[in-house]
């Protein structure tokens, strides 16, 4: 009987030790797990956070492409200028967006100009560091790939919008996108300060036409101005969906 109790105690101790090791290993893995958001919220040897004032350039067209940028807060306008000086706005980006990723595909220079549209904080990640993290950290690479796929879908939608929709629909869609309508997290609905000239460049029309439609949207209650800030209501979606 004594032998049985001893054996039982031995098994219990062995099982307890095994469970302890498993729990210890689990805690260690959890501790060592890569936190993608913490990486994007912090600085390091090959990454730094830079603050920009409104209208300050992040980089200019033709500058060397040295790394990827991540917007921690604020907003950025991406634009290109042709040989005669005409500017076209490519995109308006907000918190959580990456840009400048062309360097990863071998682009030696920046293809456009990036300008802060409000007080903005940007994390600069050097090219080699970005490549290392993408290779080593699956959580981060999954997030980055998701961003790139979403960007590609957005570009396709923009092209279809430009080809087939009226300027009124294009403006309504642009306002909803700028207000982050449809995002999983809480959409802020308040637009960053974007001029009517910039909106006109984004949708391919004139400023007077943008002004006309903005007044129409305001009278219909789709948008409203609060202390200079533009608030977009989800009811503006009816313009986009209307045939």
Whole-angstrom distance, CA of residue 226 vs CA of residue 209 = 22
- Is 3 inside a domain boundary? no
Whole-angstrom distance, CA of residue 60 vs CA of residue 79 = 9
For residue 40, give its domain range: 34-164
The band of 180, judged by pLDDT with boundaries at 50, 70 and 90, is confident
At residue 10, the pLDDT reads 52
- Is 110 inside a domain boundary? yes
At residue 100, the pLDDT reads 94
Q: What's the Cα-to-Cα distance from 76 to each of 124, 166, 231, rounded to whole Å? A: 14, 26, 19
Cβ atoms of 166 and 213 closer than 8 Å: no
Q: Looking at 116, 133, 164, which one is the last position of a domain?
A: 164
Cβ atoms of 125 and 67 closer than 8 Å: yes
Which has more pLDDT, 33 or 70?
70
Whole-angstrom distance, CA of residue 156 vs CA of residue 203 = 14
Q: Is 137 helix (H, G, I), strand (E, B) or coil?
A: coil
Cβ atoms of 196 and 206 closer than 8 Å: no
**Range with lowest mean pLDDT among 63-67, 88-92, 123-127, 219-223:** 88-92
At residue 37, the pLDDT reads 84
Antiparallel, parallel or unpaired: β 120-126 and 47-52: antiparallel
Backbone angles phi, psi at 216, to 5 degrees: -65, -45
Give the mean model confidence (pLDDT) for residues 37-45: 81
- Is 94 inside a domain boundary? yes
**CATH code of the domain in which 239 resides:** 1.10.10.10
Give the mean model confidence (pLDDT) for residues 42-49: 82
**CATH code of the domain in which 145 resides:** 2.60.120.10
């Amino acid at each position: 009987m004594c032998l049985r109790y001893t054996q039982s105690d031995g098994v219990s101790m062995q099982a307890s030790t095994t469970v302890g090791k498993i729990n210890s290993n689990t805690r260690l893995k959890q501790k060592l797990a890569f936190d993608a958001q913490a990486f994007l919220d912090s600085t390091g040897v090959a990454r730094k956070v830079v603050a920009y004032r409104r209208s300050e350039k992040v980089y200019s067209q033709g500058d060397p492409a040295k790394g990827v940028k991540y917007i921690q807060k604020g907003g950025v306008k991406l634009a290109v200028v042709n040989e005669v000086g005409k500017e076209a706005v490519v995109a308006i980006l907000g918190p959580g967006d990456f840009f400048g990723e062309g360097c990863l595909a071998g682009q030696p220079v920046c293809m456009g100009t990036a300008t802060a549209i409000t007080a903005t904080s940007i994390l600069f990640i050097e090219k080699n560091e970005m490549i290392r993290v993408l290779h080593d950290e699956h959580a981060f690479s999954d997030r980055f790939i998701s961003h790139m796929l979403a960007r590609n879908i957005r570009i396709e939608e923009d092209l279809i919008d430009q080809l087939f929709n009226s300027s009124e629909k294009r403006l309504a869609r642009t306002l909803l996108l700028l207000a982050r309508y449809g995002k999983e997290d809480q959409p802020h609905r308040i637009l960053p300060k974007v001029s009517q000239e910039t909106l006109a460049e984004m949708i391919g029309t004139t400023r007077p036409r943008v002004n006309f439609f903005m007044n129409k949207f305001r009278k219909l209650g789709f948008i409203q101005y609060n202390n200079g800030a533009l608030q977009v209501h989800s009811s503006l979606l009816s313009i986009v969906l209307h045939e």
